Amino acid sequence: MKVLVINAGSSSLKYQLYNMMDESVLASGRVERIGMDSSIVTHESANKPEVRDVREILDHVTAVKRVIDILVHPDFGVITSMSEIDAVGHRVVHGGEAFKHSVIVTQEVKAEIKRLFDLAPLHNPAHMMGINAVETNMPNVPQVVVFDTAFHQTMPETSYLYPIPKVLYRRHKIRRYGFHGTSHAYVSGEAARFLGKPIESLKMVSCHIGNGASCAAIVGGKTLDTSMGMTPLEGLMMGTRSGDIDPAIVPFVINKEELTLSEVNSMLNKHSGMQAISGLSSDMREIDEAMNAGDANAKLAFDMFVYRLRKYIGAYAAAMNGIDVLLFTAGIGENSASVRRAVCEGITFLGLELDDALNTERKKTVREISKPDSRVKVLVVPTNEELLIARDTYKLTNV
């Protein structure tokens, strides 16, 4: 059985074709700059030449058609006909309260995703274009949607409600949803498997730190709390997002700087975080390099990033009344030994000791980086959201 995984953005579409018999990736690629006359298509697979072409792709329907054309192409393709694709799985950012699990796409599911446009105006409309584009090109192929929010739907009211008038929750569903759920679900499952322990017995803090960053307190395989909120702006300091700030700063800045609401929104999402503090870059590699070369602002950005993450880990250990596993994933979590070291150095009181040699090893597999007698296990777990989407799609359609 072959599953095509699609992550549709407003001007881009990423894809992977999986063979579910061995969970191998047969091909992957992306279409960028959809809507322009110079869209870029890149595609790669194990044994065939790579594709990179520039052509006019004005909408998602044409983008999906182009992907299929490449997948079945005699020179670059990996399948002989479209009928080899048994199902398509989509990443959808916001599932609101309606979706606690992945589901097969139906008219009702599409209508519900549409109702959620308000909560994720930058993402859900683009995902819908992807779903409709597949429907147009492959009308008989079942589709599944996998939500970034679904894994966190186990949060209790005490975690997901904000202490603001309750009518706002009733009327507008203003509450914490959390994001990166597919990643937190995948890595927490992999961590339990790696440790050979039932996930039901473990208290974990999962740190997904990339450009976007969030951590989750996971008890027995279920989210108790997570740092992103109604939108992905809350929580940790990120590449260009502020994370937690005093909400009163917003009206204050609007007043003092004569900015509009949307300008402040853009400031907090696109011009804050490590970018703003370092004055240099949102990219941890560049910040690390500059810090090592003596740049004081880069060091401040690094230190703030680490400090804020440590505070969350401590808070979640308290919220769970203990911690068995601390895990790191995503671009920074998987690759930055210096961030992991700095975070762990400051929270040894939890009963956690990093092994420096293991921490600096470069491996792409799940690995333990704490000392053998560390009570809290510290793991690096490479995330793979696409694989989890492919697995859910396979499970739901292969009945």
HSE, side-chain direction, 13 A CA sphere, residue 164? 13
Q: Judged by CB, which is closer to ligand ADP: 319, or 332?
A: 332
Q: Using an 8 Å Cβ cutoff, are 41 and 53 in contact?
A: yes
The least distance separating ligand ADP from the CB of residue 287, rounded to whole angstroms, comes to 8
Q: Using an 8 Å Cβ cutoff, are 210 and 203 in contact?
A: no
The least distance separating ligand ADP from the CB of residue 329, rounded to whole angstroms, comes to 8
Judged by CB under 6 A, does residue 289 bind ligand ADP?
no
The structure tokens listed for 390 are 């492919």
Q: Using an 8 Å Cβ cutoff, are 336 and 206 in contact?
A: no
Report how far residue 256's alpha carbon sits from residue 24's, in angstroms, rounded to the nearest whole number.
55
Site string for ligand ADP, 307-336 (x = CB under 6 A): -----------------------xxx--xx
215 phi/psi in degrees, rounded to 5 = -125, 160
Report how far residue 104's alpha carbon sits from residue 366's, in angstroms, rounded to the nearest whole number.
31
Q: Using an 8 Å Cβ cutoff, are 124 and 8 in contact?
A: no
The least distance separating ligand ADP from the CB of residue 212, rounded to whole angstroms, comes to 4
Q: Judged by CB, which is closer to ligand ADP: 190, or 324?
A: 190
The least distance separating ligand ADP from the CB of residue 83, rounded to whole angstroms, comes to 33
Q: Judged by CB, which is closer to ligand ADP: 96, or 239?
A: 239
209 labelled ligand-binding: yes
285 labelled ligand-binding: yes
193 labelled ligand-binding: no
331 labelled ligand-binding: yes
Q: Judged by CB, which is closer to ligand ADP: 6, or 219?
A: 6
Judged by CB under 6 A, does residue 380 bind ligand ADP?
no
Sheet holding 24-32, edge to edge: 51-57, 36-45, 24-32, 12-19, 2-8, 85-92, 143-147, 103-104
Q: Judged by CB, which is closer to ligand ADP: 143, or 188?
A: 188
Report how far residue 395's alpha carbon sits from residue 142's, in angstroms, rounded to the nearest whole number.
12
212 labelled ligand-binding: yes
335 labelled ligand-binding: yes
**Count of residues interacting with ligand ADP (CB under 6 A):** 13
Contact range with ligand ADP by CB under 6 A, out of 52-60, 206-214, 264-272, 369-377:
206-214
395 labelled ligand-binding: no
Report how far residue 297's alpha carbon sits from residue 320's, in angstroms, rounded to the nearest whole number.
35
Active site residue 303: no
What 8-state DSSP symbol labels residue 309? H
Site string for ligand ADP, 267-286 (x = CB under 6 A): ----------------xxx-
14 labelled ligand-binding: yes
The least distance separating ligand ADP from the CB of residue 283, rounded to whole angstroms, comes to 4
Q: Choose, by CB under 6 A, the member of 42, 154, 211, 269 that binds ligand ADP.
A: 211
**Residues 341 to 370 in contact with ligand ADP, rule: CB under 6 A:** none
What's the CA dihedral at 93, 99, 104, 105 to 10 degrees? -60
Report how far residue 192's alpha carbon sits from residue 198's, in angstroms, rounded to the nearest whole number.
6
Report how far residue 7's alpha carbon sits from residue 271's, in angstroms, rounded to the nearest whole number.
25
The structure tokens listed for 353 are 């000791």
Q: Using an 8 Å Cβ cutoff, are 307 and 271 in contact?
A: no
Residue with CB nearest ligand ADP? 331
Report how far residue 221's alpha carbon sits from residue 55's, in angstroms, rounded to the nearest whole number.
45
The least distance separating ligand ADP from the CB of residue 152, rounded to whole angstroms, comes to 17
The count of residues in the chain is: 399
**Residues 6+ away with beta carbon under 8 Å from 40:** 31, 32, 33, 52, 53, 54
Query: Catalytic one among 59, 75, 148, 356?
Result: 148
Site string for ligand ADP, 224-263 (x = CB under 6 A): ---------------x------------------------
Strands 325-329, 203-209: pairing kind: parallel
91 labelled ligand-binding: yes
- List the one residue out of 62, 3, 1, 6 whose CA is nearest residue 35: 62
Judged by CB under 6 A, does residue 212 bind ligand ADP?
yes
- Per the annotation, binding residues are 7, 14, 91, 208-212, 283-285, 331-335, 385
Residues that bind ligand ADP (CB under 6 A): 210-212, 239, 283-285, 288, 330-332, 335-336
Residues forming the active site: 148
